[in-house]
Amino acid sequence: MTDHESIKFDICCAARLLYRQGLSVANAGHLSVAVGPDEMLVNHFGPSFATLRPENVVRVNFAGKVLDGGAYVNDTIRLHGIIHRENPRAVAVAHTHPPAVVTLSALRVVPEVYDQESCLLADDVGVVEEDYEGIASEEERVMPVADALRERPVVILPNHGAITTGDNIQAAFMRMVLLEGMARRNLSVAQAARDLGREPVAIAPAAARRAKAEIGRMPVLPLLWQDFLKQLRQSDPDLFEGREN
């Protein structure tokens, strides 16, 4: 596969995995990877994450103009273009509406670190301090998101969902999975605290950073990605038709 073909396939894998994890809603959300100073590969509007195929990933400039073919992209694709434009280090951008994250987003809080997995997002999560005013299709609505991503690679969008970024789509995908797990843990801990009448104890920031650094020294992401692909090959064999093992 060419580099673009490989990226398109990885985007489809990430999209289907997010669907299998229960982190996508209908056909809302986009996954994008910058492939030039004013170009990105991104899923066009229509297919859900559950059915995304490489032919549904198109080359678009940051203003939202399709550069190859006539696929339709909705106005919210500008969200990704502006993020890439304003944050060149954000090579990959994932946007979806994970249910527990959306619940927490209504509270405008950064989730606490209560477990070892959440340590991997220590210091990485922010909240956009703007009220929801409609879909993110206009630059003035998107700029607060782009600004927040200069400070953190992960941001929660109030009453909406989340944006995760990374050096590649695998990293952005994994951060979205970790963020939803972190949100679920926060909600379950809050419920248990109410039921038991106890005060929850979060992991101390210094300990969370230390665990993050220790785990980071292991080849976690590539091994997890390969494991996820093995699962996906079983659940979504159509995506792998005609491809070598």
Q: CATH number of the domain that 41 lies in?
A: 3.40.225.10
| 161 inside domain | yes
User: Per-residue pLDDT for 43 more than 60?
Assistant: yes
Total structural domains within the chain: 1
| 200 inside domain | yes
Q: What is the DSSP string of 214-236?
A: HHHTS-HHHHHHHHHHHHHHHH-
Contact 16, 49 (CB under 8 A): yes
3-class state of residue 239 by DSSP: helix
| 92 inside domain | yes
| 212 inside domain | yes
| 242 inside domain | no
Phi, psi of 192 (to 5 degrees): -65, -40
Reported pTM: 0.94
Q: Rounded mean pLDDT of the chain?
A: 93
Q: Which helix (H) or strand (E) holds 20?
A: helix 3-20
Question: What Rg value do the Cα atoms of the chain yield, rounded?
Answer: 18
Task: Note down the domain range covering 137.
Answer: 3-235
User: Span 107-130, mean pLDDT?
Assistant: 95
Amino acid at 231: Q
Share of residues in the chain with pLDDT > 90 (%): 81
Q: Per the structure block, which two tokens stand in for 66? A: 């399709």
| 245 inside domain | no
Q: Which residue's entry shows tokens 């789509």?
A: 169
